[in-house]
Structure 1
Amino acid sequence: MDSQTEKSYRSIDEVKARFVSATAADIARLKKIARIYVDGGEVEELISLSQQSLLSDRKWPVDVDFFALMAMTMKSIASTERRKSALRQHLSVVPQHGDAADLFDIADARDTPEDLASKKSEYEATMEIFRTDDLATTFIDAKVLGYSKQEIMDLCGVDLTGYETIARRVRRKLEQRDQREAING
């Protein structure tokens, strides 16, 4: 590149100095910008992630205003997080320790693609175990989707005893599978 098209960037020391010298008004302005991209408690986190990005991998061109750069950085980070969240498998079937009838959501906000594949595989394997048991698959899907006990009973057409029977059957089959896997290594 020739010198006319070569872009100049601020040094890491200049970036650090800008953050250190931030006034209360600057911080308030950064929070106002962050609120455009995220809600409530995530504002501070977004500012922090943007700061980390500027101190590690993102460059600050000398001809770009600090607040414009922070806005672009925040927008990029928030957009990336929204895309990750949209791709994330939010619910997984997992027996909750101590209460065999309850299943709960173990989705992690920082799931990796490998985690997602593993959760999908776990769900598919679980559904395969119960492929001939319509009540159990309905029960599992309803639990995964967060239905209440009463909604599940209505959906499955059972009373409390029937609900508990299905929950016990699901729990036992999953425990048997886990035991077989532990034995077979």
Structure 2
Amino acid sequence: MTAMTQYGTPEETMLAYTNISARERQILQGVARRYIKGTHFTEPLDLMHEALYLTVEQRRRWPKSVNFEIYMVMTMRSIAGADRNKQLTQAASGIPVEDILEWSFLGENFHISAEETVLRAEERLADSISTKTILGQLRAGADKVAGDVLACLLSDMPAREIRSSLGLSVGAYDAARKRVLRKFKKSERL
């Protein structure tokens, strides 16, 4: 028998948010800064607060087995992605029907087979699970710096910003990045 997923209550969510350390809060803001590009959010805190609000309102649910900071990163990414898609859809509503029917608008192939869609989804899921596992292992273990570097890399933050936000020298950043890469290579061999 499998255990039921336990989700955080609004009170537990607020407690987890208030217990985020200053360093983790800075990392979350850096991640949010990267995610707000192309969205209607004007400040990183807007996106962070939207993720928190939706979780407290129980429209997004925090599985308590997932590190709260990781949950916030994934939720912010999801919210920002949905916002970008909404804006693209609204912009595309002005595209002539003839262009859409040709399947060639902007040179993209809009028709993807169901099999290809499933294969891509499976690859993304496997990559996501592997990445979350490694991030959790790094942060839970003795290499929190490498975990922080990985979290920033996952948010597409440039190296300069990562070094600045984490207070790392070029050498310390490169060493942490190499430890992250070794962890991924080791997991591929398992």
Please identify which structure carries the higher helix content.
2
Q: Which has the larger radius of gyration?
A: 1
Q: TM-score, normalised by structure 1?
A: 0.43
Which structure carries more relative contact order (alpha carbon 8 Å, separation 6+)?
Answer: 2
Q: TM-score, normalised by structure 2?
A: 0.42
